[in-house]
Chains A and B, each alone.
Chain A
Amino acid sequence: MKKAFFAFLFLFFVFLTLFLFAAAGASAAETKTLLVGLVPEENIFRVMEQHLPLAQYIEEKTGIKVRFTVLPRYGDVIDKFKARHMDGAFFGAFTGYLAHVKLGVEPLVRPIGPGGLVTAQSVIFVRKDSGIQSFQQLRGKRAVFVDKAAASYIYLLYQLRRLGVSNTGEKRFFSGHYFTGNNEESIYAVLNGGADVGLAKSRYFEKLSSQDPLVSERLFVLSRSGDMPDIVLCLRKDFPPATKALLERTLMNMRYDPEGIQVLRVLRYSGFEKADAADFDPVARLADGAGIKIPSYRYAR
C-alpha cells in the first residue's frame, strides 16, 4: 500500500514536471513573434500600412504575434529570409517560386483579390504616342523594370528569348533601363516619359488605370502573360505544424468574421484560400520558357 502510494506520488511529480515544461515551451512558442516579409510590389509604406491590421488581427485571434518587414528588393526576400530567420513571407509569383525551390518554403494560403481573382498576369506596356506596336519596335528603347525577381521581368525574358535575345542580352536590347522596385513607379515612369516601355503586374496596371484616367488614356499594353499566382503566403519548411494549421485556419476563416472582413477590406482582398506548390507551375513553365535555370539565376539587380 505504501509502495503504491509512493509510486503514485512519483508519477504525479513526473507528470507535473513534464506538464510544466510543456506549458513553458508552449508559452514560449506562443510568445515568439513571427517575422513575415512583404514584397514591395507597390509603395512600401502603403504595403506596410495595409498589413499592420492583419498582424493585429492574427494576434487577437491566435495570440501569435506577427511582425511584418518590408524588403526593398524582391530578391532580398530570398537572401534575407534565411539571414533574418524569417518565418514566412507574402511572395509574388516568381519570388514565391524561387523561395520554394531554393529555400523549400511551403505555400500556405493565397489572397482572393477583387472579383475573386487569385491570379495575375505580367504586362509589357508602352505609351500610345510612342508609336510602338510590336515587340520588335522595343529595340533601342528606354525600359523600366520592377525587379529582376519579379515575374514581369521573367515574362520579358521569355518574350525576348522568343525574339532570339539571350537572357543576358536584354540590357543591350534596350538603350537604357532601370528598376523601380515596385509596379506603380514602373507604370508612372512610362507615363511620365521616364521610359518608353515598362513592366508591371496586371493588377496594378488595372488599378491605376481605373484610378488615373491618364494611365488608360496614354498607356497601351503591348503584351500580357498567362495567369500566374498573384500573392502567396509561404512559411519556412520547419514551421511548427500546429501553429501553421492555426494560422491557416484563422486566415481562411477571416472572410466569415466581421472583424476579419474589416481587415481584408484594408488589404483589398475578399479572403484567403488554400495554396500549394502546384500554384507555381505556370511560373515554372514561364521560367523554363525564358531559359532560366533557377539554381543559377542571378536575381539581384
Chain B
Amino acid sequence: MKKRLIYSLFLLFTLFTLGSTLTILYIYRTTFSLRTLIALHRVEIIRQNLVISVQTVQSDLYTIGTPYDTGVDETVKNVIHLDKSVDICLGCHHTPEMTARLTQIDQLTDNYKDVLSNLITTSASPGHIKRLRMAAIGIGSTLLNKSRQMALIANNRLNGETLTVMEQISNSRIILLVTLVLSFCIALVIAIMMTRQITAPVNALVGATRQIKSGELGYIIPFKGKGEFGELIDSFNDMSLTLKDSNEQILRYLHNLSNLYSITITFHSVTSMHDIFKELSEGIRDLTEAQQSGILLRDGEGEFFSHMYPACGITEENAKEMRIESPVLENLYHSSMRRALILNEDIQKSPTASVDARLGVRNVMFVWVGHKGKPMGVMRVANKKTGDFTEEDARLMAILGNSFFVALENVRLWESLRLQMKELKDTQEQLVQAAKFAAIGELASNVAHEINNPLTSILGYAELMREDEDINNIRRDLDIIEKESLRARDIVNSLLEFSRKKPLKMGLVDINRVLGSVIELIGVQTKDSNIRIAADWGSVPPLKGDEDQLKQVFLNLASNAVFAMGKSGTLGIRTFVQGDFANIQISDTGKGIPEEIMNRIFEPFFTTKNEKGTGLGLSISYKIVQSHNGFFDVESEPGRGSRFTVRLPLGDKTVKAKLVSINPSGSSLPVES
C-alpha cells in the first residue's frame, strides 16, 4: 500500500508537474508573444512619435518667420525630441536592414538639425534663405517618408504579430483548458482508486470490529491483499483468533470458577460428612471431566488414608479397597514437594495401582489436601474423558481441596455445635422447669392451706356424719363433702396442669382468659392478705402464642407484684391494644425497683427475694416474650410501685425486642436485653 501510495502520489506529482510545466510553458509563450506585441506596440509608438516629431518640426519649419512662428525655443524642443526619438529607435534591437534604415534616418536627422540650425541662425539674402529652407524641407520630407515607412513596417509587423498572438492565445486557452480538465479527470480517477484501495480494507476492518464488538470473536476478514493493509488485516485476523481463544479460555476459567464457587457454596451449606464427600467427588468430576473421583482421608488412628464414600465412578467396595498406609503417602507428599501427582502414562506408579488396574484406569491424578505442612488427605481423579490431566486441573483441584478442608472442619464444628446446642437446650428446659417448680413451691404453701380448708370441712362433716343418723343430714353433709372434695381436686388439677412439662405449642391465645386463670391462681395466694386485685379487661383479639408459656410469664409477673406488696396493696391487671400490639400491664403498689438494679432484673439468677427466689423468673419470662417477638416495658418508682407491660404482636409482624424502663422522674431508659 505504501508503495502504491508513493506511486500514486508520484503519478499525481508528475501529472501536476507536467500540467504546471505545460501551463507555465504556454503562459510563458503567450506572455512572451504579448511582450513582443507590447514591444512592437512600443516600437510603433516610438516610430509614430518619430513621425509626429518630424511632422512637428516640419510644421515649425513652415511657420518660421510667419505670424504662426512658435519661437525658437519650441522648435529647439521639438528638434531635440525628434533627435531623442531617433536615438530611442536606434537604441532598440533591430535587424541589420532596419539598423541601416535607422542609421540613415539618424544621419538625415543630423543633417536636418544642421540645416535647420543654419536656417534659424543665418542672416543672408532671401535666395540663400530660400535655398536653406528648401534644403531643410527636402531633408524633412525624406525624413518623414522614411519615418512613415518605418512606422508602416512596424504597423504591418504589429498587425501580423497581433494575429499570431491572438491565435496563440486561443490555442493556449484550449490547451490549458484541456490540460486542466484532463489533469483533473486523471487526478480524480487516481484519487477515487486510491480512496477505494484505502477505504475497502478500512471498511472491512470497521465491519470486522463491529462483528467482534457484537460478540463474534474469531471473525476473519476475507479481504486478500498485499502491503500494509494486507499485513494489517492478517494481524487483525490473528488478533481476532487470539481474542476468540482468550475469550474461550476466560469462559473456561469462568466456568471452572463458577463450578468452584458452586461447589464451595455447597460445601459451606452441607452439614454432614456424607454430603460433603458426595459434593466433593461430584465437583472434582465436573471440574476435571474425569470418570472417577473421590478423596482419601487419614482415618481415626492415623495409620491409613482411606477412600471416603460417596465417591464418583467407583463402588463403596472399591472405595474400601483403596487404603494406603500413612507413611507411604507422607513420603510421596514430601518427595513430590506437595505438588500434584499426575500420571497420564505411568499409572503403575499410582499409590492405588492395585485397585486402578481392576477399575480400568487409563490416567490418574492425586492432589494433596494439606494442613500445617502435613497431608490431611489426597484427592484422586482418574480417566479424564478427553485427553490427559493437566496442571490446570491440578490447580483447580487444589483450590477445591482447600475449600473442602475448610468445609470439612465446618462440618465437624457443626456437628460439635449441634451436640452442644442440644445440651444447652436440655439445660434450658431444665432451668425453665426448675423455675416453674420454684413458682409452684412458692404457691405450694398457699395451695396447701387452700386444700386444707376443704379437707378440714370434709373431715368435720365426716365426723358429723358418723354421729348423725338422719339420712337427710348425712346426704346434705355428703353433698358438702363432695363439693369441698371437687374444689380441692380443681386446685390440685390446676397446679398439676401448670407444673406439667409440655412441648412448645403455638396456637391462638385469648390473653384475657389466660390472665383470668392467673388471677385464679394468685387469688389463692392473696386470699388472706389485704391485696386487692383490680382487673381492667380491654378488647384484645386472640394472638399467636404458647398459652402455657405466656401463662407462666403473667403468673411470674403477678407473683413478683404480690411479693413486692407484702400484706396489702393493689395488684393491677390491664389489657389493651395499642397499634399492632396487645399490651398486658401488671402493676403493683409495692416498694418499687431501685434504680441501680433496674438494668439487672432480667439477668438469670438475679433476685431480691434472697432464699425465697431462684432469680430465673424474669429472665425466663424475658426469653419467652422474646420468642413470641414481643418485648417488655418496665416502669418503676421506688416506694410507689412498679408496672410491667408485655407487648405482644397481634399479627405476624416481627418486632425486635426492646426493653424500656421509666425512671422515677418518668423518663425512659433502655434496659439491656
Contact = CB atoms under 8 A, between A and B. Distances in A.
Interface of A: 40, 43-46, 48-49, 52, 69-73, 147, 178-182, 185, 301
Contacts of B128: 178
Contacts of B114: 43, 185
Given A45-B113, A70-B73, 4 more contacts: A73-B123, A180-B121, A182-B117, A185-B114
Contacts of A40: 117, 120-121
A301 B128 CA distance: 15
Given A72-B72, A178-B124, A45 B80 contact: yes
Nearest to B112: A45
A46 B113 contact: yes
Contacts of B73: 69-70
26 contacts: A40-B120, A40-B121, A43-B114, A43-B117, A44-B76, A44-B117, A45-B80, A45-B113, A45-B116, A46-B113, A49-B83, A70-B72, A72-B120, A147-B123, A178-B122, A178-B125, A179-B123, A180-B122, A181-B118, A181-B121, A181-B122, A181-B123, A185-B117, A185-B118, A185-B121, A185-B122
B124 A44 contact: no
A178 B123 contact: yes
Interface of B: 72-73, 76, 79-80, 83, 113-114, 116-118, 120-125, 128
Nearest to B71: A69
Nearest to B82: A45
Contacts of A178: 122-125, 128
B210 to A, nearest CB: 84
Contact of A70 (B76, B122, B123, B124): B76
A48 B124 contact: no
Given A44-B117, A49-B83, A179 B122 contact: yes
Nearest to B73: A69
B118 A180 contact: yes
A147 to B, nearest CB: 8
A29 B73 CA distance: 24
A298 B80 CA distance: 33
A184 B250 CA distance: 123
A58 to B, nearest CB: 18
A301 B117 contact: no
A152 to B, nearest CB: 14
Nearest to B84: A49
Contacts of B124: 178-180
B143 to A, nearest CB: 14
B350 to A, nearest CB: 122
B83 A44 contact: no
A48 B122 contact: no
Contacts of A301: 123
A201 to B, nearest CB: 14
B118 A182 contact: yes
A250 B73 CA distance: 26
Contact of A44 (B121, B123, B125): B121
B75 to A, nearest CB: 9
Contact of A45 (B83, B122, B123, B125): B83
A251 B83 CA distance: 28
B441 to A, nearest CB: 134
* Residue among B114, B117, B118 with most chain A CB within 10 A: B117
A49 B121 contact: no
B80 A73 contact: no
B412 to A, nearest CB: 122
A242 to B, nearest CB: 28
A225 B58 CA distance: 40
* Residue among A71, A72, A73 with most chain B CB within 10 A: A72
Nearest to B129: A178
Contact of B113 (A43, A69, A72, A180): A43
A264 B589 CA distance: 154
Contacts of B118: 180-182, 185
B77 to A, nearest CB: 8
A112 B117 CA distance: 26
Contacts of B79: 45
Contact of A71 (B72, B117, B125): B72
A70 B121 CA distance: 10
Contacts of A182: 117-118, 121
A69 B80 CA distance: 13
A44 B80 contact: no
Nearest to B118: A185
A222 B83 CA distance: 37
Nearest to A84: B73
Contacts of A48: 76, 80
Contacts of A43: 113-114, 117
A89 to B, nearest CB: 14
Contacts of B121: 40, 44, 72-73, 180-182, 185
Nearest to A145: B123
A44 B120 contact: yes
A25 to B, nearest CB: 29
In the complex, the 5 A-B pairs of residues with the closest C-beta atoms, listed nearest first: A181-B121, A178-B124, A179-B123, A301-B123, A43-B117
B131 to A, nearest CB: 10
Contacts of B125: 178
A72 B79 CA distance: 15
A43 B116 CA distance: 9
B486 to A, nearest CB: 148
A179 B125 CA distance: 9
A228 B121 CA distance: 23
A202 B616 CA distance: 171
A146 to B, nearest CB: 9
A38 to B, nearest CB: 9
Contacts of B120: 40, 44, 72, 181
Contacts of A71: 72
Nearest to A179: B123
* Residue among B73, B76, B83, B114 with most chain A CB within 10 A: B76
A53 to B, nearest CB: 12
B449 to A, nearest CB: 140
B140 to A, nearest CB: 14
B80 A49 contact: yes
A45 B72 contact: no
A224 B118 CA distance: 24
B122 A44 contact: no
A72 B128 CA distance: 17
